[in-house]
Structure formats: structure tokens, C-alpha cells
């Protein structure tokens, strides 16, 4: 572990206006376990899921189903340097804290948007460690006067909540491993927990780590999959897990990275970790003779003080489709068949909605919320899926739903105890998986080679109405859909729900919408002029209720042709933090209309053989962010329109030297001149082909 003293000038205090945001004596909330578990107070939004139960349910009722139609902009803060924004802000005593692009954290007056301080963890200086595509933090944590910030390159930093001064910083990732952090840290019992991503970026063995909130000293680490038995197992849980693996899995890492989905159950004093998919995806490669491969794609309960294993529930034994259980783990008490049960609500990628007994991890019920062809049902006795064996694409192909994007992904699921419904964006599509030509004996893990081709692209909607995405309201007691509305695009953001009988959700087309929570009737909509990726929050200051939202289309799915059609072209639209109230009188400055960039003409003599080689390099290294076929979706510049690409000196400085790291472009220090030249020819070939097609 490395800790260091704060470097000077990491933060600057713009104004000491903290006491000016309320009349009279300011409230000073001590943010501890009791405060984080308090579901009664509505003024603050203290944690990622508002409270420790992760319900994203607010008891506030000033904005409600009778008056939400007059909800209006109260204040806004332009964020011209930001790109994709997907995080959940926190509100503590009238101060709103949020993390934006390049992990920059701002504190603002929650009644006006006036900037109080900016904390820049200087993520851009780690250009050689930035794994492509992941400049999108989902949030921060707050504990006892400190804000906790996990960075793209793997640091966990503590920041003074009053001044924005960095107090300590610890590197949580081996710098030689291709990992990154996008998830929000979680604070509980004087500790801060972080996980990481990286399952697809190279040999990866997932883990979570807890650090002392005061000092940054590591308290414990829990490994998600077993390492090489010859090195000895860290604990009995790893010994047990190793029984479920075959072959030499450790040479591939195994995966299971916990990049999202941490819940501290203050009532039962248990910590729940959602775990990731296998590395590589294809079980045939990483565990050739089968096996469940614990603790991939599971909810694992840990002792919060020691990190010791308590129990687990695995949603996909022998995971092989990039399914994972990193989605939200929401806690509730529900009356099921006449008995009150302490439950986990969980809607992971695999398309089944799970109700799990959180005292012991036993399955209570599971039903599909989207079309599921990989498994028909979950056996209520064994808790195991009833699989379609052909869906494992055994030495061939299979068309499978949900896709590797999931029936539901990380976008926040809220739960309203008044309506008894859970609200989340669902995705309805199929994808072809193929492992033709993959030989486990010779397979080597490289960046985004996952032992399986996700061929054929999206093979269409699996929803009866033909839409790809819907907002669903799910009844976990009856295990059935209560209501559903169609959504634009595919990858829509998460939800928030209130005692005012409301559900709020932004959308990729820029609409911010409020629905009746019980019926799904649309009650209000505001066009933000830019696609939305973040979930909203609500809070109150001086008796006024606000709804706040970050507006900044982004995330890994803001790429490629499907996203490009939305028209949120790279760098065109202003990112914003926007707050609404019933008495709001502000007006947002207009945004440019949606614009879909196209290729530009440029004198360049394309060599077909070089272009073919460049296509391979592009697919492995570039397409993840810049889009398939070099058609960008707005997360990144469209390379077909780039004046940098055709000029080799400029191109090399950006790609090999990392000169655009400030914009989130990682450094590819090992790329060769031959590879760069082949990329030039591929990208210009794509541009010329699209220009020719447009001219026809």
C-alpha cells in the first residue's frame, strides 16, 4: 500500500460559503452508520443509494403526483469540460457533491449551484494506466466529514468535505495489471470499500478491499476467485471455490471483478458484494472441464469487519456470456406468502428478477423480467438455472438473449415501499455468441479478446412490441410486471422514486420524465437538449424540495452507430448539473440541435492490405470507444472526420505519447509505427467507403 501526503494545490476553496446556504444555524449531520441507515429524513441524500438499503426512495412529498406538472428549472451549473456523466450526487446539509469526467469532484451550494470547491485528483497524469472507455465514475462516498473518491487509474482518495483538500491517497490496484475503477466507494463502520473492473482487459483476478476511513490503511481484502493452488489459498472460502474450477484457470486470472453493486446491510451487519463475469468470458477456455467457477456472477455476503466469507448465491453457475451480478443489491422487508421476509432485490444481466433471503442467501423466488433464452427458469429448490444447453455455444454459435449488455445493467434500480414496486431500465435484444476456432490450449488473453466472438451485432428486439428498451415497474412479491413504458435507444439511465407517488428517469434522447409510481402514467417531461446517462436524486434545503440530475450523455455504450443516430456528437453539447423545484424560475440556455457527424474527404492513398491489418488492430484496441466501423457515437471523436489520423506525426503523438489524456484518451505506449500506419489506412478506407455510399 502506498499513501502520500496531499500535494499542494490539489484543491482550491472558491468561497467559504458553507454557512451561507441556510438561514440561522447550519445543521451539522454526523454521517455515520446511523445517519446512513435513516430512511425517515429526506433532506439529505447521504449515500449512493440514498440510504444503506440502496432503495433510492425519498420520503419527501412536496413534489408529488398532483403538482409535478409544474416542476421547473431552479438552478443549473454548466460543466463545459465534462463529457459522459453517470454519477449519483450526494447532498449533506445543503451542500451537493458530485464527481464528473476525469474524476473531478465539485461541491456546490445545493440551493443555487454556486461552486464551493473543486477537487482534481489529476487522473489525466496517469495516461498509461487509463483503460479505454472507463472515464465514467458512478459516484462518491461520504463519511464523517470526508468525501471518498475512487479514480479511473485505481486510487482511493479521501478529501475534506469542507475545503476539498486531499487528506490521503492509496493505490488499490497493482500498476502492472489492466484494472480500473468506475464504481462508487462504499462507507460503513469507519471503513471505505472499493472494488475494480478489468475482467476483459487482461488476466484478472477480482477482489474488493476495505480501507480505514481515517487513515487509508488497508483493513482487509477479499479475493473473488481462487488463485494458483500451488501458492496456497488465502482462506477456506478460496479452498471451497477452487473445487469448482478445472484446468489452469489462474493463468487467465478468472475474473469476477466487483466493479459495481456493494450494499452494507446495517440491520444484519453484513456486506453484500455483487461479482463479475469470468475472464475470459468463454468457460471452455478458463475452466475446460466445466464447473460452477465460484464466486463468479454471485452475491457474496462478507463480515464487514474482517472481510470473511459468510454465504453466497450464484446467479449464473459456470458463467460464459459476460453475465454478471454487479447490478444493484437493494434491501427490503417484504410480506411473502404470509410471512415477513428480509430480502435482497436483484435484477442482474441474466434477465431474472431475484428475491433472496438476506439472512442466509437462500433463493425465495426468481422470474424472468425480459426474454431469456439461456435458461427457461430458476429451480426454486436448488436455486440453479434450468439452462438451454445449446445456449453455451458449444464449439459453435448460439443466438442468446439477454446479450452481454444484459437485460438490466448498472443503471440504478429504485424501490418504492409504498407501491411495492422496483423501477429499472430493461433491455430487450439478442446477440450471436461464437467460439469457432477458439482453442483453449493455445488461447492467450489480450485486451478485449474474451474467448468468444459476439458476432452478428444486435440481432434485433426480443420484446413483443419490437422496442429494444423499456422502463419496468416490477412487483417482487408477485414476481410480475406491474407496468412498462417504451424507451428510446438501448442504454437508458437509472431511476429515483418518492413518497409523492413519483418515479423519475432521464433518457438517452434527452427527455427527463416523471411518472406516477403506481400506474406508470407520464406526468411531466423536460427536454434537456442532450442525452442523459445519470440517475436523478432529490433532497430539501430550507423547506424546498429539489430534484437534481447530471446531464451528459456518456458511458461505454455511447459509441457506435446506434448511439451516433441520437446526434450527441463529441464535444458539441454542454454538460450540466440541473436542479428543479416547484417554484423554479430559471431557463436553461439552448443546446445545439442533435447532429450526426460524417466522414470527411482527405487526400490519402488507401492501401487495401494495410487497411485489412488495421481493421484487426482497430477491433482489438480502438473500436471499444471509437465505435465499430469507425462510426463514433459521441463518447469520442468520429475518426472518419479526423484531421489527426491521416497525419502520422499527429496521430502518433495522440495514440503513442498520450497527448490527449486530458480528454480521456489513454496512452498506448507499446503501439508500433506499423500498427499506427495500418490504422490510418483502415480508418481512411472506412471514411472513403462511407463517402462513396453517401454519394450514391
Tell me which residues touch Ca ion (CB under 5 A): 199, 277, 322
Nearer residue to Ca ion within complex by CB, 74 or 322 = 322
Which residue is listed with cell 490519402?
Answer: 604
Which residue, 523 or 635, is less far from Ca ion as judged by CB?
635
C-beta of residue 326 within 8 angstroms of C-beta of residue 260: yes
CB-based contacts of 573, cutoff 8 Å, min separation 6: 529, 530, 553, 591, 592
Q: Nearest Cα to 508, choosing from 527, 524, 489?
A: 489
Give DSSP secondary structure letters for 57-109: EE---SS-TTTGGG-EEEEEEE-TT-----PBPEEETTEEEEE-GGG-EEEEE
Q: Is 236 a catalytic residue?
A: no
Of 110 and 450, the one with the shorter C-beta distance to Ca ion is 450
Residues with Cβ < 8 Å from 472, sequence gap 6 or more?
A: 369, 423, 424, 425, 426, 481, 483, 484
Which position has the grid cell 469532484? 105
Q: Which residue, 82 or 322, has its beta carbon nearer to Ca ion?
A: 322
- For the chain, how many residues are written? 696
Residue by residue, DSSP assigns 630-646 as G---SSS--GGG-SSTT
- Which residues, in sequence order, are CB contacts of 570 under 8 Å at separation 6+? 597, 632, 634, 635, 636, 637, 638
The answer to whether 156 and 137 have CB atoms below 8 angstroms apart is: no
Among residues 51 and 199, whose Cβ is nearest to Ca ion? Answer: 199
Close Cβ partners of 9 (under 8 Å, ≥ 6 residues apart): none
Q: Which helix (H) or strand (E) holds 387?
A: strand 385-387
User: Shortest approach of Ca ion to residue 355 CB, angstroms?
Assistant: 25
Alpha-carbon distance 472 to 494, whole Å? 11
Query: Minimum distance between the CB of residue 180 and Ca ion, rounded to whole angstroms?
Result: 12
d(CA 666, CA 267): 42
What does residue 108 show for φ and ψ, rounded to 5 degrees? -135, 155
Residue (277 or 462) nearer to Ca ion, CB: 277
- In angstroms, the CA 482 to CA 499 distance is 18
Cis check: omega of the bond before 369, within 30 degrees of 0? no
Shortest Cβ distance from residue 233 to Ca ion (Å)?
25
Of 244 and 326, which has the nearer Cβ to Ca ion?
326
Report in angstroms the alpha-carbon separations of 176 from 130, 250, 446, 540: 12, 17, 14, 45
CB of 279 to Ca ion, least distance (A): 8
Q: Could you give the strand order of the β-sheet that contains 72-78, starting from the edge strand earlier in sequence?
A: 72-78, 576-581, 544-551, 537-541
CA distance 115 to 106: 7
Query: Least distance in Å: CB of 405 to Ca ion?
Result: 10
In the chain, what's the furthest Cα-to-Cα distance?
A: 74
Active site residue: 322, 435, 509, 638, which one? 322
* Closer residue to Ca ion in complex, CB, 53/199: 199
**Which of 51, 403 has the CB closer to Ca ion?**
403
Task: Tell me how far CA of residue 586 lies from CA of 78, 396, 552, in angstroms.
Answer: 13, 58, 19
The answer to whether the CB of 311 falls within 8 A of the CB of 298 is no
- Closer residue to Ca ion in complex, CB, 322/638: 322
Task: Report which of 524, 623, 627, 635 is spatially closest to residue 575, judged by C-alpha positions.
Answer: 635
Q: What is the C-alpha separation between 574 and 79, in angstroms, rounded? A: 7
Catalytic residues: 322
Amino acid at each position: 500500500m502506498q499513501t502520500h501526503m496531499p500535494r499542494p494545490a490539489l484543491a482550491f476553496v472558491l468561497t467559504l460559503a458553507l454557512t451561507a446556504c441556510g438561514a440561522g444555524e447550519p445543521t451539522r449531520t454526523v454521517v455515520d452508520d446511523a445517519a446512513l441507515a435513516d430512511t425517515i429524513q429526506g433532506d439529505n441524500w447521504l449515500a449512493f443509494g440514498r440510504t444503506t438499503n440502496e432503495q433510492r426512495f425519498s420520503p419527501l412529498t412536496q413534489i408529488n403526483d398532483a403538482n409535478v406538472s409544474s416542476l421547473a428549472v431552479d438552478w443549473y451549473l454548466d460543466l463545459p469540460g465534462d463529457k459522459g456523466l453517470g454519477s449519483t450526487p450526494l447532498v449533506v446539509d445543503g451542500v451537493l457533491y458530485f464527481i464528473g469526467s476525469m474524476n473531478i469532484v465539485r461541491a456546490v451550494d445545493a440551493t443555487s449551484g454556486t461552486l464551493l470547491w473543486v477537487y482534481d485528483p489529476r487522473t489525466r497524469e496517469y495516461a498509461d494506466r487509463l483503460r479505454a472507455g472507463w472515464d465514467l465514475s458512478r459516484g462518491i462516498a461520504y463519511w464523517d466529514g470526508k468525501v471518498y473518491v475512487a479514480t479511473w487509474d485505481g486510487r482511493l482518495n479521501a478529501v475534506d468535505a469542507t475545503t476539498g483538500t486531499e487528506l490521503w491517497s492509496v493505490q488499490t490496484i497493482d500498476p502492472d495489471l489492466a484494472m480500473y475503477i468506475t464504481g462508487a466507494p462504499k462507507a460503513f463502520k469507519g471503513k471505505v470499500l472499493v472494488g475494480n473492473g478489468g475482467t476483459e482487459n487482461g488476466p484478472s483476478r477480482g477482489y474488493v478491499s476495505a480501507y480505514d476511513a481515517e487513515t487509508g490503511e488497508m483493513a482487509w481484502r477479499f479475493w473473488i476467485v481462487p488463485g494458483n493452488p500451488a501458492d496456497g489459498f488465502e482462506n477456506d472460502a478460496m479452498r471451497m471455490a477452487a473445487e469448482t474450477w478445472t484446468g489452469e484457470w489462474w493463468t487467465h486470472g478468472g475474473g469476477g471483478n466487483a466493479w459495481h453493486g456493494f450494499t452494507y446491510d446495517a440491520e444484519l451487519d453484513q456486506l453484500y458484494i455483487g461479482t463479475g463475469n469470468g475472464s475470459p468470458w468463454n468457460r471452455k477456455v478458463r475452466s475446460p472441464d466445466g464447473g460452477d467457477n465460484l464466486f463468479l456472477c454471485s452475491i457474496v455476503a462478507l463480515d464487514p469487519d474482517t472481510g470473511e466469507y459468510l454465504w453466497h448465491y450464484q446467479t449464473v453457475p459456470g458463467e460464459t456470456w459476460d453475465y454478471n451480478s454487479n447490478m444493484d443489491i437493494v434491501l427490503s422487508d417484504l410480506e411473502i406468502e404470509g410471512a415477513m421476509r428480509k430480502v435482497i432485490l436483484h435484477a442482474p444481466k441474466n434477465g431474472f428478477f431475484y428475491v433472496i433471503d438476506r439472512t442466509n442467501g437462500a433463493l425465495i423466488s426468481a422470474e424472468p423480467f425480459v426474454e431469456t433464452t439461456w435458461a427457461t427458469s430458476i429451480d426454486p429448490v436448488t436455486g440453479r438455472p434450468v439452462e438451454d444447453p445449446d445456449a453455451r455455444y458449444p464449439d459453435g454459435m448460439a443466438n442468446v438473449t439477454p446479450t452481454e449488455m444484459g437485460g438490466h445493467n448498472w443503471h440504478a434500480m429504485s424501490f418504492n415501499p409504498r407501491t411495492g414496486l422496483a423501477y429499472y431500465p430493461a433491455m430487450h435484444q439478442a446477440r450471436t455468441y461464437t467460439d469457432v476456432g477458439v482453442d483453449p490450449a493455445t488461447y492467450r488473453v489480450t485486451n478485449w479478446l474474451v474467448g468468444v466472438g459476439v458476432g452478428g451485432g444486435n440481432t434485433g428486439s426480443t420484446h413483443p412490441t419490437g422496442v429494444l428498451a423499456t422502463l419496468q415497474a416490477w412487483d417482487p412479491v408477485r414476481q410480475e410486471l406491474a407496468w412498462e413504458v417504451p424507451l428510446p435507444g438501448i442504454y437508458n439511465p437509472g431511476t429515483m422514486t418518492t413518497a409523492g407517488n413519483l418515479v423519475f428517469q432521464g433518457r438517452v434522447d434527452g427527455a427527463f420524465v416523471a411518472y406516477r409510481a403506481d400506474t406508470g402514467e407520464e406526468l411531466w417531461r423536460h427536454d434537456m437538449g442532450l442525452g442523459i446517462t445519470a440517475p436523478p436524486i432529490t433532497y430539501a434545503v430550507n423547506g424546498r424540495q429539489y430534484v437534481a440530475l447530471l446531464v451528459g450523455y456518456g458511458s461505454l455504450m455511447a459509441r457506435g452507430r446506434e448511439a451516433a443516430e441520437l446526434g450527441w456528437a463529441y464535444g458539441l453539447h454542454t454538460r450540466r448539473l440541473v436542479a428543479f423545484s416547484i417554484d423554479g424560475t430559471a431557463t436553461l440556455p439552448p443546446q445545439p440541435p442533435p447532429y450526426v457527424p460524417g466522414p470527411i474527404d482527405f487526400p490519402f492513398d488507401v492501401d487495401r492490405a494495410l487497411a485489412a491489418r488495421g481493421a484487426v488492430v482497430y477491433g482489438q484496441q480502438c473500436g471499444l470507444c471509437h465505435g465499430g466501423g469507425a462510426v463514433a457515437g459521441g463518447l469520442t471523436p468520429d475518426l472518419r472526420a479526423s484531421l489527426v489520423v491521416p497525419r502520422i506525426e499527429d496521430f502518433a503523438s495522440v495514440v503513442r505519447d498520450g497527448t490527449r489524456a486530458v480528454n480521456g484518451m489513454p496512452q498506448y505506449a507499446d503501439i508500433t509505427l506499423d500498427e499506427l500506419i495500418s490504422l490510418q489506412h483502415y480508418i481512411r478506407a472506412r471514411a472513403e467507403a462511407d463517402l462513396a455510399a453517401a454519394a450514391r
